Amino acid sequence: MAEVTLTDEQSEALTALVVRGMARGEASAVQQSLADAGLILVKGPIMMPTPAGTEHVGTMMRLADDAPERERIMATFHRFLPVNRQLRDLCTAWQVRPDGSVNDHSDENYDADIRDRLDDIDDAVGPLLKRFSEDIPSMDGYRARLTESLEKLDDGDDAWLASPLIDSYHTVWMHLHQHLLLTIGMSRKEDEELEERLVAGGSA
């Protein structure tokens, strides 16, 4: 692939899109320039990165193997993955009741319990995010975004927990997870295997 040189503004826009996976709405001038460069694909009202765009961001964000902060980040990441599993399980429970039926949100007791458990997860991720941000300054905004989604959830709109269509708690969490994977340079498959090992090891 030919070397692409991007302005800061372009880099930022491309990174945001790769982390989010997609965006809706009309392409901005910057996004259009990225589309012209073959780094993003504009399809009707939807924008997504092309494989070249994803690769570009991957190269740009990936921390050098010998970076001094890598070890610290990995240690925190190992603590993050079990919490990540808790969040995924919680989102599953939010959508599907333990017996496999769809959660229709008519059981206030059940939903209140899930919301309550989300606080435990949020408490656990707080100190981890603080550590990540010390080494990866671009991760600074996630704490506020998670809090914002919680506030909207508590304002009464259940979609703010797990809807993939808005910046719900789960969506923001997916973004921060993706951000970490790009920084570490780990594939999602490796990530899932590591998480499985950590969770299995933790409860043995």
Partner 1 sequence: MTPTSWASPIDDVGLVPFGKGFERGLDSRSLCTRGVQLETLAGVGLPVGAGLTIPVPNVPGFTSPDRAKAAMNLLERISGREISGTTETGGLVLLRLSASAPVDAAGLPPDLVCLGLKRSVIPEGLGASARADLGAAWWKSAAFIAEYALGVPSDELGSLDIDYPDPVKRVEPFKRLCEEKGTAPFPTKRSQQVAAGAKAMMERWNSPRAARARKKQNLPQDLPLALHLETVVVTEHDDEGYGFAISRDMDSGSFAPNGAFRHGFRMSGERDAEGHPLDGLPEGVEMLTGVLAELEGRLKSAVTVDFEYGPDGLALIGLEELRRPNARVATSLAVDLAIRGIIEEEEAVGTTDPIHVVELLHPQPKLTGEERPLVSGLGASPGAAVGQIALDSETAVEMTEAGQHVILVMSETTPGDLPGMMAATGILTANGGSASHAAVVARGMGRPAICGASALRIDPEARTLSAGEHVLNEGDLVSIDGATGIAYIGELLIERPTPSPSLTTLLSWADDTRRLKVRANADNGVDASTAIDNGAEGIGLCRTEHMFMGDRLPFVRAVILSHDHEAEERALKELAVAQREDFRELLAAMGDRPVTVRLLDAPMHEFLPSSADELEDEHQARMLEHLHEENPMLGVRGVRLALMHEGLYPAQVEGLFNAWVDVVSAGEAHPKLEVMIPLVSIPDELVMSLRLIRRVNQEVSSRTGMIIPFSIGTMVETPRAALMADRLAQWAEFLSFGTNDLTQLTYGFSRDDVERRMLGTYLEKGLLTASPFAELDAEGVGSLMEFAVAKARSVRPDIKLGICGEHGGDPASIATCERIGLDYVSASPSRIPVARLAAAHARTRLHPSASGA
Interface residue list for partner 1 (CB under 8 A): 18, 20-22, 41, 43-44, 46, 48-49, 54, 76, 79, 85, 88-89, 91-92, 95-97, 99-102, 107-113, 115-116, 119, 123-124, 126-128, 130-131, 154, 162-164, 170-171, 174-175, 178, 188-189, 192, 203-204
Closest separation in Å from C-beta 7 to partner 1: 23
What span, in angstroms and rounded, lies between the C-alpha atoms of 111 and 91?
Answer: 11
Instruction: Find how far residue 36's CA is from the centre of its chain.
Output: 27
Q: Are the CB atoms for 164 and 147 separated by under 8 Å? A: no
Which residue lies nearer to partner 1 by CB, 65 or 99?
Answer: 99
Closest separation in Å from C-beta 22 to partner 1: 5
Which residue lies nearer to partner 1 by CB, 37 or 166?
Answer: 166
Instruction: Find how far residue 16's CA is from the centre of its chain.
Output: 11
Closest separation in Å from C-beta 183 to partner 1: 15
Cβ within 8 Å of residue 23, ≥6 positions away: 16, 17, 31, 46, 47, 48
Closest separation in Å from C-beta 51 to partner 1: 9
Which residue lies nearer to partner 1 by CB, 3 or 156?
Answer: 156
Closest separation in Å from C-beta 107 to partner 1: 6
Residue among 167, 129, 175 nearest 148 (CA): 167
Which residue lies nearer to partner 1 by CB, 7 or 154?
Answer: 154
Which residue lies nearer to partner 1 by CB, 71 or 108?
Answer: 108
